[in-house]
Structure 1
Amino acid sequence: MKKLTLLPLAMVLVFYLVSCEGITKKETKRINTEQTGYSFERIFVVEEGCSVDTLEDCTHVLLEYPVFEGEKMKQANSFLNHRMADILGFGDAESDSLVDLEKAAQNMLQDYREFKKEFPESPQVWNVRMISHLIYEKEDLVCIKMVSESYMGGAHGSLNVSYITFDTTTGSFVHLFDRIENKELFLSLAEQKFRKKRNLTPEENLEKAGYWFPDNKFRLPANIGVDSNGYLLHYNPYEVAPYASGPTDIVIGFEELKKE
């Protein structure tokens, strides 16, 4: 298997913009890998009066994500762009155009200002952070792990992990389960590992144990990724259990799927 190899950065561009909408820091890093080239974009928008060098006690938005080169990967770039815009609450499902993520970030800050006008005594500090990086690149696949963390009021913030895989020959999103040859074995291994992770016996009823599997039927998570260790399954909070139960991570090794 080819390992992801990062060559020296060819270019780093940093822009600062100070306005009534806050302070914006934009950074671009050019990266080459064995399979494809991409730019690593970083957008950091913080409330006016705060420092771009600290995240402490300041309402802010931090976005870090790859932008792939080449015509074939336009679809992948659009997918990532709209995913981040949706999380920021600035998406448009009917539009194919790329969303201005800097504007989307500033829009979140504007929502915070309006909140503070209505509740000036509130100590709340809002933040949204989305950090993405490549975790796998081989042949015609590239997999990205996106970690989204936010707090915009309420009892607690949210933390979600997304695995996003693309076909580098077309730029299209790939459902990894569709590529699994032995789906029955994959499902069986996933359930075994889930039960072990959650200290459940093989016979124990999932629903009665407090997990959201209707009719006691195990199901895969929405997020399946891949790296050098195998397939990565991640259940986010609220996906199959209450928030207090936290996430569940499972790894199914490539070799495990070769067993008869």
Structure 2
Amino acid sequence: MKKLTLLPLAMVLVFYLVSCEGITKKETKRINTEQTGYSFERIFVVEEGCSVDTLEDCTHVLLEYPVFEGEKMKQANSFLNHRMADILGFGDAESDSLVDLEKAAQNMLQDYREFKKEFPESPQVWNVRMISHLIYEKEDLVCVKMVSESYMGGAHGSLNVSYITFDTTTGSFVHLFDRIENKELFLSLAEQKFRRKRNLTPEENLEKAGYWFPDNKFRLPANIGVDSNGYLLHYNPYEVAPYASGPTDIVIGFEELKKE
């Protein structure tokens, strides 16, 4: 499968804004790739009266995600669907059925309207943006990078990156660390790179330095992805440090893991 070149965000928004009418403006657009393996779907829901220039001042939801074709990848589609629904607060952990994401987006806007009725003087503007694209397609693996940015009240918004890898022969989620042959070397490289990123010496105590590693024991992030350069490790805010510390990104090249 080849990577899809996505339209610039502004182009997508213009298309949706001029194509929709009503209390909310919405459009679902399937974009076919050169391959038959997957396509991309976009859902954009926004309050009436908004334009591209005023989008930051308008409550809106933007979803952009791959849809895989074929019976084998139904599980992958369900995984991505429920991940987005959960972020929108519309998930159902007990259901295997796909969530209507357009309805979930509209539900979020309705929640905002109810909030404004109760607090009409509030300057808050809610938004959720989830942009996903394929960053790796080789042999039996495909890796999706999902960037979700949201604000639904509070002191600040949320920005999270998820790497989601699937086995293309089964559609099941893959824990990449399970596929690493030399796990000890992988962990050692990850800790070395984390310390360098955070300007910590090899001997410095992680807990005393303000990082959330119980008993000073380094651990991998929840998010491990893969691209043509190697393995991608991403610590989201609040994962091992306060929000103000920001995220931490680490790359472990394939060649580094071949060293004895």
Flag structure 2 segments of 5+ consecutive residues without an equivalent: none
Q: TM-score, normalization: structure 2?
A: 0.90
1:223 matched to 2:204: no
Q: 1:101 to 1:31 in 2, by over 3 A?
A: closer
Deviations 1:84-103 (A, max 9, x none): 00000000000000000000
* 1:159 maps to 2:159: yes
Change (3 A) 1:103 1:8: closer
Q: CA deviation at 1:209?
A: 0.2
Is 1:148 matched with 2:167?
A: no
In the TM superposition, residue 208 of structure 1 has moved relative to its aligned partner by 0.2
1:55–1:235 Cα change, 3 Å? same
1:174-193 Cα deviation digits (max 9, x unpaired): 00000000000000000000
1:56 Cα deviation from its structure 2 partner: 2.5
1:95–1:232 CA distance, 2 compared to 1 (3 A): same
- In structure 1, stretches of 5+ residues that fail to align are none
**Superposed CA offset, 1:121-150 (max 9, x none):** 111110000000000000100000000000
Determine helix, strand or coil for the equivalent of 1:15: helix
Gap change, CA 1:145 and 1:7, over 3 Å in 2:
closer
| Higher helix proportion (structure 1 or 2) | 2
Judge conservation of contact 1:38–1:67 (CA < 8 Å) in 2. Answer: yes
**Offset of residue 48 of structure 1:** 2.1
C-alpha offsets along residues 55-86 of structure 1, whole Å, 9 cap, x if unaligned? Answer: 23100000000101111100000000000000
| Cα distance, 1:235–1:26 mapped onto 2, change above 3 Å | same
**Aligned-partner Cα distance in 2 for 1:128–1:9:** 14
The CA RMSD measured in Å over matched residues stands at 3.7
In structure 2, relative to structure 1, the CA distance for the partners of 1:206 and 1:179 (3 Å cut) is same
Aligned-pair CA distance for 1:109:
0.4
- 2:93 corresponding residue in structure 1: 93
Supply the distance in 2 between the matched residues of 1:79 and 1:48 (Cα, whole angstroms).
Answer: 31
SS at match of 2:53: coil
1:229–1:253 CA contact under 8 A, matched in 2: yes
Q: 1:4, 1:243 → 2: CA distance?
A: 33
Q: Which moved more, 1:217-226 or 1:45-54?
A: 45-54
Aligned 8 A contact 2:20 2:27 in 1:
no
> Match for residue 183 of structure 1?
183
SS of the residue corresponding to residue 178 of structure 1 reads helix
Contact map agreement 1:150 1:157 (CA 8 A) in 2: yes
Identity of aligned residues (%): 99
- The 8 Å contact of residues 31 and 41 in structure 2, kept in 1 or not, is answered as no
Secondary structure of the 1:22 match is coil
Check the 8 A contact 1:12/1:30 in 2, yes or no. Answer: no
For 1:202 and 1:188, locate their aligned partners in 2 and report how far apart those are by CA, in whole Å: 11
Q: 1:20 to 1:197 in 2, by over 3 A?
A: closer
Greater shift after overlay, 23-32 or 133-142?
23-32
Q: 119-128 or 19-28, which moves further after superposition?
A: 19-28
Could you tell me how far 1:21 is from its partner in structure 2? 10
CA contact (8 A) 1:6 1:31 kept: no
Q: Distance between the aligned counterparts of 2:6 and 2:118, measured in 1?
A: 48
Please say if residues 28 and 44 of structure 2, whose CA atoms lie closer than 8 Å, have aligned partners that are also in contact.
no
SS at match of 1:96: coil
1:60-75 pair list within 5 angstroms? 60-75=60-75
Cα distance, 1:51 vs. partner? 3.3
1:98-119 CA distances to partner (integer Å, 9 max, x unpaired)?
0000000001001100110011
Structure-2 change in CA distance of 1:67 and 1:209 (3 Å): same
Query: Would you identify which runs of 4 or more consecutive aligned residues in structure 1 move more than 3 Å?
Result: 1-36, 51-54
What's the CA shift for 1:52? 6.6
Name the SS of the counterpart of 2:120 in structure 1. coil
Give the aligned length.
Answer: 260
Q: Helix, strand or coil for the counterpart of 1:18?
A: helix
